[in-house]
Amino acid sequence: MDADAVDARSFAASDPISAGRTIRVLLQPKLLSALGRGVSGRTLGRRIPTLLLSAAGAFVLLFLVATRLLGGLREVPEVGPLLASKLLGLALLLFFGILLLSNLIAALSSFFLARDLATVHEAPVDWFGLYGARLLETLAGSSWMVLLMLLPVLAAYQSVYGGGPLFYGLVLLTLVPYLLIPAALGSAITLVLVRVFPARRTRDILAFVSVIAGALLVVGLRVLRPERLVNPEGFRNLVDFLEVLRAPSSPWLPSEWMAQTLIGHLEGGFDPFWLWLLWSTAAALVAGGAWLHFRLYPRGFTRAQQGAESGRRGSALWTAFARLLAPLGLERREMILKDARLFFRDATQWSQLLVLGVLLFVYVYNIQVLPIRSNEIMSRFLVSMVVFLNLALAGFILAAVAARFVFPAYSLEGRTLWLLRSSPLEPDTFVWSKYWSGAVPLLVLALLLTLLTNRILAVGPGIMALSLVSICALTLALVAQALAWGVAMPRFETGNAAQIPTSLGGMLFMLGALGTLAAVLVSQFLALRGYVRSGLPWRETRDPTGVELGIALGATLAITLVTGVWPYLVAKRRIREVGVPG
C-alpha cells in the first residue's frame, strides 16, 4: 500500500479528548525513561544529590552574580534602572535565539528521526495528539537548560526591584508563551525543510543552516555594538543616551514583549498588551504549526525515511592522513582515522567548526577594538588586567569547544561499542586516542587564540610565555575533564552530537571546567598582583619578576596537573567498567 495513503487515513479529524489522551500516552514513556535515567541502578545514591547540588549551586551562583550587578545598577540614578531593563531585553533576546536554534534541531529528531516513530505511526494515533506530544517533547528538550539560566536572573530582578509574588505569576504567564513560540516556530521550519529538501540530507542542511544562523546572531550582536550603552560619552548628550535606552531594542520579538511585561510590572506600569501579544502569537503559531503538520507531515515523514548518502569515499587525502598517523601504531592510527572520517562525514559535527571560526573572529576583533589605549595613563594597568581576562575568555571558549567535541566522543560510539569491546583493543588505547584526537586540535586553537590576542595587546615576553604555557596546560586538563564526564555520564540514545553536551553530564563538565579556570586565574592573579599594581598611574611601572612568573606558572601547572590527570585516570577506570548499550 502507498505510504501516503496510510498516513492520510490516520490523519482523520482530531477531537480534543483523543488528542489529550494521545499526548499523555506518548509523553509517558519519555517521562519515565527520563526519570529512569536519573535514578537508575547503583548510581541512584550518587546521581540525585549530584544533580540537585549542581542545579542549586548554579542557581545560587547566577542569582548572586545577577543580584550584585542589578544592585549596583540600581544605585546609578536615572540610567541604572533603564540599563537593567535593557539588560533583561538583551538576555531574553539571546536566549530566544538559542531556543530557536535548539528547537530546530530537536524538532528534526523528535518529529522525524526518533527511533520510536515507526511504532507510533503503526498505531492509530490522533494527529493533533502526535503534534502536541512531539511539540512538548521538543520544547522540553530545548528549553530546560535556558530555564535553568533564566530563572535565577529573573529571581534576582524580583529580589532587587521587588514586585511581590505577582511577579512570579507574571514570570510563569510570560515564560509559557516565550518557550512555546520558538518551539512551534522551530518545528514548523523543520517541517518545511524536510518537505523541500530530499530525505535525510535535511539533517545535514539543518545543521548547516542553524550553524550559519548562530554565526549571524553572534556577528549581528557584535555589530549592534552593545558597549555603546556603557559609554555615555559617545552620545551627544544625556537625553540622546536615555532615548536609546528607553526605546525597545527589538519590538517585533517575543523576548522584548516578555521584558516589557516584567519590567512594566516592576516599574509599576504593567501593560497587558505585551502579555496579550505573547499569548496570541504563541496560540497562532501553535495553530499554524498544527495546520502545517496536518498538511505536510505525512509526506515529509515518508521522505525522511528514504535513501541514505552513498558514493565513493576513498580519497588521496585520507591515505595521506593515514600515512601521517602511521608512527602512532596501528590501533591508535585506525581509531583516530575512524573518528576523523565519522566527524567530517557528519554535517551535524563538522558544521560546528564554522561556529568556532566565527567565535575566533569575534573574539580577536573584540580584543582589537578594546578601548584600552584611549586613556594612556591607565593603559598599562588595563593591558595587564586584560591579559587575565583574555586567559579567562580563551579558557571559557576552550571549555565550550571541549563540551561540543570531546564530551560527546564516548557517547557517539554508542551502539557500536560492542565492536571495540569484543576486540583486543586495550581500553587505555581507546582513551588515549579519544584524548589526543580532541586535545591536538584544541591545542592549536588555544595557541592561535593566545598568540594573536597577546600580540595585539603587545604583552612582554614573560607574560607571553606564561600565557602560552597556561593555556596549553589548561587545554590538556579541560580535554581530560570533558572525556571523563563523557565516559561517566554517556548519552547513548541520541545520535545527534550537538544534543549530547546539553545533558546533565555536559553541564557538570562546564561547571568543573569553570572551577578549574577560576582556580588558575585566582592563583595567577595572587602571584602577579605586585606586577599588576605597578601598572597603576601613581606607581613605578615594572615587568613581572622571575619569581612572580615562576610562582604563577608553578601554581597553574599544579592545578592543571591535578584537574587533568585525575579525570584521565577516572576515564580509564570507567571505560573498563561501563556497560555496552544493547
Partner 1 sequence: MIRLEGLTKRYGSFTAVDGIDLEARRGELFGLLGPNGAGKTSTLRMIAGILRPDAGRVLVDGFDVVGDPYRAKARLGYIPDRPFVYEKLTGTELLRFVAGLYGQQGPEIEDRIRELLALWDLEGWADELVEAYSHGMRQKLIISSALVHRPRALVIDEPMVGLDPRAARLLKDLLRAFADSGGTALISTHTLEFAEALCDRLAVIAEGRIIALGTMDELRAQAESAESGLEQVFLRLTGGESQRELMRVLAG
Which residues of the shown chain bind partner 1 in the complex (CB under 8 A)? 41, 307-314, 330-331, 333-334, 337-338, 341-342, 345-346, 414-426, 577, 579-580, 582
Considering beta carbons, is residue 183 or 325 the nearer one to partner 1? 325
**Which residue from 573, 582, 568, 427 is spatially nearest to 492, judged by alpha carbons?**
582
Inter-CA distances, 492 with 52, 350, 366, 414, Å: 23, 20, 38, 5
CB atoms within 10 A of CB 347: 16
Q: Least Å distance between CB 74 and partner 1? A: 54
Considering beta carbons, is residue 57 or 307 the nearer one to partner 1? 307
Phi-psi region of 78 (alpha: psi -120 to 50; beta: other; left: phi over 0): left
Kindly tell me the burial class for residue 157, based on how many C-beta atoms sit within 10 Å of its own C-beta (0-12, 13-18, 19 or more). Answer: buried
Q: Look up residue 552 and give its amino acid.
A: A
Cβ-contact 354, 215 below 8 angstroms: yes
Q: Least Å distance between CB 581 and partner 1? A: 9
Q: Least Å distance between CB 313 and partner 1? A: 5
Name the grid cell of 5.
Answer: 495513503
Q: Least Å distance between CB 33 and partner 1? A: 17
Rounded to the nearest 10°, the torsion over CA 525, 531, 532, 537 is 170
Considering beta carbons, is residue 314 or 546 the nearer one to partner 1? 314
Considering beta carbons, is residue 63 or 318 the nearer one to partner 1? 318
> Terminal CA-to-CA distance of the chain, rounded, Å?
33
Q: Least Å distance between CB 558 and partner 1? A: 36
Considering beta carbons, is residue 461 or 582 the nearer one to partner 1? 582
CB atoms within 10 A of CB 176: 14
Cell 512551534 locates to: 184
Q: Least Å distance between CB 432 and partner 1? A: 14
Cα separation, 326 vs 198, in Å, equals: 39
Q: Least Å distance between CB 343 and partner 1? A: 9
Q: Least Å distance between CB 311 and partner 1? A: 7
Considering beta carbons, is residue 223 or 317 the nearer one to partner 1? 317
Cα separation, 381 vs 515, in Å, equals: 26
Cell 613605578 locates to: 540
Phi-psi region of 114 (alpha: psi -120 to 50; beta: other; left: phi over 0): beta
